[in-house]
Amino acid sequence: MKRKHIAGALVAALLSPLSAWADWGMNMPRGVTELSEEIYGLHMAAFWVCVVIGVVVFGAMFYSILKHRKSLGVKPATFHESTTVEIIWTVIPVIILVSLAIPAAQALVKMEDSSNSELTIQVTGHQWKWQYEYPEQGIKFMSVLGSKSREASALGSGIAPGSVEHYLLEVDNPVVVPVGKKVRFLFTSNDVIHSWWVPDLAVKKDAIPGFINDMWVKVEKPGTYRGQCTELCGKDHGFMPINVVAMDDAGFQAWVDEQKAAAAAAADDSNRVWTQDELMAKGETIYKSTCAACHQASGAGIPGAFPALTGSAITTGDLKGHVDIVLHGKAGTAMQAFSSQLSDADIAAVVTYERNALGNSVGDMAQPADIKAMR
Ligand SMILES: [Cu+2]
């Protein structure tokens, strides 16, 4: 019985790549941008050249082996060092390589040319989320792993990953682009090297601290396109997906207006006095999306790696010290500075939440004005 079990598991393991292929297709994705089409075309051209060479070379080989085999009494020819043959088998590959290199070089030059773009989006990698900024529109936001994936991925959650749609490929705030417009992406990082990869857009660019890489897309088809970070960037490298939503012009404009209204509301939020209940409710949301990856949803942390917040000297001690570490981080540790990532209201809320939830009950609270004063 046990042996049968093992055999079954082995067969399943051997077959699983096949079912994965069925889902993904054998070929590279065709993509939905002007460049991805061109890259796909180049790939297919090279593929067919390889197929023809393979058929001709193996055909000639097998034909010679079968038709001129010793058992038929064929005597080997004695010629060698034929200059004509040598010239032919040098010239033909050169022609093939040059004819492939010319369009490939043209495509590379085109990929690097992000001039005359109609929209610029700056992408900043953070451990472990992406930040998107539209400088011309004055929009800036964080994009983190979707809540369903986050809940399912938590240690001992009991939720089967297979039951979550787009598991680890879903975010809370997608980056939105207009269809049919040349959009320039600028990539950089706030901490370590990340890499922004969306196969359907034919973009895979490193986001490196202190450098700016650029790339452009012209999406031809509305839809949601999914990708991932592809540079091993730490504990949650596999938990910082990318969602790009391509919309028509009207949809994009509506989204821009919505984002501006949300930013204005967030600015108002940072200029008023909050009640404890409001702070706790907002704080819980921020904690789950921003802090729980390291300190865990329960506040227990991960012993030896990330400190517990439950009963810690910081979350139960002086309020100012607590705000300071959230705002400015702690040098030499994984604790980041959140001053550029979270608003005054966000930080007031999450600090209040950490002091009065997760098993703590200090009883005090922080107001956005306190945070502003400490920036
Ligand atoms: Cu990363």
Domain ranges of the chain: 26-72+79-112, 119-267, 272-374
Amino acid identity at 42: L
Exposed / middle / buried, residue 48 (Cβ in 10 Å: 0-12, 13-18, 19+): exposed
More confident residue, 82 or 94: 94
Spacing, Cα 85 to ligand 1 middle (Å): 53
Residue 102 has pLDDT above 60, yes or no: yes
Residue type, 112: E
When pLDDT is cut at 50, 70 and 90, the band that residue 232 belongs to is: very high
- Which tens digits make up the pLDDT trace of 330-373? 888 888 888 888 888 899 999 999 999 999 988 888 898 888 88
| pLDDT tier for residue 2 given thresholds of 50, 70 and 90 | very low
pLDDT (mean) for 193-212:
95
What six digits make up the tokens of 185?
């992406």
More confident residue, 338 or 5: 338
In this predicted structure, the answer to whether residue 182 has a pLDDT above a threshold of 80 is yes
Q: What dihedral angle (degrees, nearest 10) is formed by the CA atoms of 218, 222, 227, 229?
A: 50
Q: Rg for the chain (alpha carbons), in Å?
A: 28
Give residue 232 CA to ligand 1 midpoint distance, Å. Answer: 6
Cα of 335 vs centre of ligand 1, distance in Å, is 16
Find the 191 Cα to ligand 1 centroid distance in Å: 10
Q: What is the average pLDDT across 95-103?
A: 95
Q: Could you tell me the distance, in angstroms and rounded to a whole number, from the CA of residue 100 to the centre of ligand 1?
A: 34
Q: What is the pLDDT of residue 11?
A: 53
CA of 370 to the centre of ligand 1 (A): 32
Given pLDDT bands bounded at 50, 70 and 90, which one contains residue 171?
A: very high
Distance 133 CA to ligand 1 centre (A): 17
Residue with tokens 């501006």: 260
Closest CA to 228 of 185, 166, 281, 307: 166
CA of 228 to the centre of ligand 1 (A): 8
- Average pLDDT of the residues in 168-181: 94
Write down the pLDDT at residue 1: 39
238-277 core/surface letters (b: 16 or more CB in 10 A; e: else) = ebbbbbbbbbeeeebeebbeebeeebeeeeebbeeebeee
pLDDT over threshold 80, residue 148: yes
Cα(225)–Cα(200) distance, integer angstroms: 6
Q: Alpha helix locations (H) across 32-78?
A: 34-67
**Percentage of residues in the chain having pLDDT higher than 70:** 94
Q: What distance in angstroms lies between residue 126's CA and the mean position of ligand 1's atoms? A: 7
CATH superfamily of 119-267: Cupredoxins -  blue copper proteins (2.60.40.420)
Listed residue (142, 150, 135) closest to 185, CA to CA: 135
- 305 CA distance to ligand 1 centroid (A)? 19
Weakest mean pLDDT among 23-27, 241-245, 287-291, 359-363: 23-27
Q: Using pLDDT thresholds of 50, 70 and 90, give the confidence band for residue 5.
A: low
Q: Kindly report, residue by residue over 24-44, the tens digit of the pLDDT.
A: 678 888 899 989 999 999 999
Q: Which architecture does CATH list for 26-72+79-112? A: Orthogonal Bundle (1.10)
pLDDT 10s digits, 105-139: 999 999 999 999 999 999 999 988 999 999 999 89
Regarding the domain with residue range 272-374, which homologous superfamily does it belong to in the CATH classification?
A: Cytochrome c-like domain (1.10.760.10)
Q: How far is the CA of 198 from the centre of ligand 1 (A)?
A: 13
**Ligand 1 centre distance from Cα of residue 207 (Å):** 9
| Terminal alpha carbon distance of the chain | 66
Confidence (pLDDT) at 342: 87
> Rounded to the nearest whole angstrom, what is the distance from the C-alpha of residue 200 to the centroid of ligand 1?
19
Q: Quick count: other Cβ atoms within 10 Å of Cβ 12?
A: 10
Please work out, in degrees rounded to the nearest 5, the angle formed at the alpha carbon of residue 99 by the alpha carbons of 96 and 101. Answer: 105
Q: What is residue 252's predicted lDDT score, i.e. its pLDDT?
A: 95
Task: Dig out the tokens for 79 from the structure.
Answer: 């010629």
Question: What integer is the mean pLDDT of 253-273?
Answer: 88
H or E stretch at 139: strand 139-143
